[in-house]
Amino acid sequence: MQKPLILVSNDDGITSRGILNLVNVMKELGEVLVVAPNSPQSGMGHAITVGDTLRLNESFLFKDVKAYECSGTPADCVKMARHFVLKGNRQPDIVVSGVNHGSNTSISVLYSGTMSAAIEGAIEGTPAIGFSLCDYSHQADFSHTLEFIKKITQQVLKKGLPKGTALNVNFPPKRNEAIKGVRVCRQANAKWVEDFDQRFDPNGRSYFWMTGNFVNFDKGEDNDEWAIANNYVSVVPCQFDLTAHQAIPILNEAWDILD
């Protein structure tokens, strides 16, 4: 049987430890192609490069793996992989993104470049997974995540995913206790409350750093925040149809300007 073609991207950039760990696991599962940003792209959400040019250069960072570094966003990387690097050739059997240095649970999925790469896979009908470790450190320890990344990817390669979905997988930080297992979850109801740290440059003009506190309103045990807090791997199936279908009849009933 032909080995699966696995496209790997991320949002921390091609030099991060997270993507190196992910590539090493994927090499055990198939043929790997890396197209990843040439600089950190955290917080880029689903941004794409429409008003500017893109660069793409071959990278020699990974042993025995074809790789490219791209000047664009994670979504750009997946688009370039498909429509330039692989144009006219065999397309990926799966898209994996990460491993992100930091949590992408709950509302953070919206801001996540890691997940935008995975969602791009799903838009194209390719099974896709974004992996994130709930540890922001550049020196983060990924050792406890590797067996789960392998198992989860194997499940998706074997069984596919429901149409129009990509998985948002988060791992608890390395703790003394071993991970308890894997839970399929919904996105927790939580948000960031920002603050802006105002400072002054050497010319006396103000500038700001965005800071924020994460606030969890969710009391349930079926969400990703609960899973991570309780030392489980969280798996949230995500969709790119943003329609709030339940709101359509409500608006149709309430509004008096419709035709």
Chain positions 125 to 144 lying near a copy of itself, rule: CB under 8 A, are: none
| 29 sits near a copy of itself (criterion: CB under 8 A) | no
Residue span 88-107 as binding mask against a copy of itself, x where in contact by CB under 8 A, dash where not: -------------------x
Examine residue 84 and tell whether it contacts a copy of itself (CB under 8 A). yes
Which residues contact residue 67 at a Cβ distance below 8 angstroms, ignoring those fewer than 6 apart? Answer: 14, 33, 34, 35, 36, 58, 59, 60, 61
33 closest CA partner among 137, 126, 160, 138: 126
- Report H helices in 197-239: 224-229
Residues 161-220 that bind a copy of itself (CB under 8 A): 161-162, 164-165, 168, 180-187, 189, 191, 193-196, 198-199, 205-210
* The binder of a copy of itself chosen from 14, 152, 169, 228 (CB under 8 A): 152
Nearer to a copy of itself, 1 or 242 (CB): 242
String marking each residue 41-80 x if it binds a copy of itself according to CB under 8 A = -xxxxxxxxxx-xxxx------------------xx--xx
Please enumerate in sequence order all residues whose Cβ is within 8 A of that of 132, keeping only pairs 6 or more positions apart, or say none: 98, 99, 100, 102, 103, 104, 105, 112, 114, 168, 169, 170, 171
Give the Cα-Cα-Cα angle 135, 76, 46 (nearest 5 degrees). Answer: 60
If one asks whether residue 259 binds a copy of itself (CB under 8 A), the answer comes out as yes
Contact 150, 23 (CB under 8 A): no
With CB under 8 A as the contact rule, the residue among 83, 137, 138, 221 that binds a copy of itself is 83
CB 5 within 8 A of CB 30: yes
Residue span binding a copy of itself (CB under 8 A) among the ranges 20-28, 30-38, 61-69, 235-243: 235-243
